[in-house]
């Protein structure tokens, strides 16, 4: 009789442990479900937006672009783009040369290849960033941004 009650006590303890383990698993599953429901309910962040500006640089037109995440007030990319003809406002094309030349398909505008080299595009991008940040002091540029050309 004593053996039987001891066996029953062991079974009861085992049952309690199993129930506690199940309760813990259920709690974890409920937390995971709540987390995935929260993820599904959260609105997707808006896609990055491209902001184009217009600049004149050594007699050529440029339309540098900043790619921004408005919800984070973050500039994620900056590009100088192609130089444009100041008369036709058409993008110039680079001939392979030699010598390398930028030329307009609409008129006779021609510029040496160095007119839009990496140094020029980098300074254009830097100017564009600086100007944007001075007008939007609470914004910031992504790390490493500011020295990339096209
Ligand atoms: Zn032209």
Tell me which of 9, 24, 42 is where a domain ends: 42
Number of domains in the chain: 2
Q: Does the residue 29 lie in any domain? A: yes
Cα(8) to ligand 1 centroid in Å equals: 97
Cα(92) to ligand 1 centroid in Å equals: 8
Cα(57) to ligand 1 centroid in Å equals: 16
Angle at 70 between CA 75 and CA 129, to 5 degrees: 25
Note whether 136 and 103 are same-domain residues: yes
Cα(26) to ligand 1 centroid in Å equals: 71
Measuring CA to CA, which residue among 29, 26, 74 is closest to residue 51?
74
Q: Tell me, what's the pLDDT at 148?
A: 41
Note whether 93 and 19 are same-domain residues: no
Say if CB 80 and CB 149 are below 8 A apart.
yes
Domain that holds residue 115: 49-141
pLDDT digits (tens, 9 = 90+) for 4-38: 676 666 666 667 777 777 888 888 888 888 888 87
The average pLDDT across 113-137 equals 90
Q: Does the residue 36 lie in any domain? A: yes
Quick check: pTM over 0.75?
no
The average pLDDT across 126-136 equals 95
Q: Does the residue 82 lie in any domain? A: yes
Q: Tell me, what's the pLDDT at 104?
A: 95
pLDDT digits (tens, 9 = 90+) for 76-119: 999 999 999 999 999 999 988 788 899 999 998 899 888 778 88
Cα(77) to ligand 1 centroid in Å equals: 29
Cα(87) to ligand 1 centroid in Å equals: 5
Note whether 18 and 57 are same-domain residues: no
Q: Bridge-partner residues for 61, per DSSP?
A: 56, 84
Say if CB 69 and CB 48 are below 8 A apart.
yes
Note whether 1 and 34 are same-domain residues: yes
Q: Bridge-partner residues for 65, per DSSP?
A: 52, 79
Instruction: Report d(CA 48, CA 28) in Å as an integer.
Output: 36
Cα(81) to ligand 1 centroid in Å equals: 17
Note whether 129 and 71 are same-domain residues: yes
Q: Does the residue 146 lie in any domain? A: no
């Amino acid at each position: 009789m004593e053996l039987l009650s001891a066996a029953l006590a062991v079974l009861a303890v085992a049952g309690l442990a199993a129930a506690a383990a199940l309760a813990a698993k259920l709690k974890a599953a409920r937390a995971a479900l709540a987390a995935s429901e929260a993820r599904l309910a959260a609105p997707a962040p808006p896609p990055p937006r491209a902001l184009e500006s217009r600049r004149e640089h050594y007699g050529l037109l440029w339309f540098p672009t900043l790619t921004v995440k408005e919800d984070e007030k973050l500039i994620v990319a900056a590009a100088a783009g192609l130089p444009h003809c100041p008369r036709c406002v058409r993008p110039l094309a680079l001939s392979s040369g030699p010598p390398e030349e930028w030329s307009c398909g609409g008129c006779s505008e021609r510029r040496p290849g160095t007119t839009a080299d990496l140094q020029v595009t980098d300074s254009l991008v830097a100017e564009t960033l600086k100007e944007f940040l001075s007008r939007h002091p609470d914004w910031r540029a992504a790390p490493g941004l500011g020295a990339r050309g096209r």
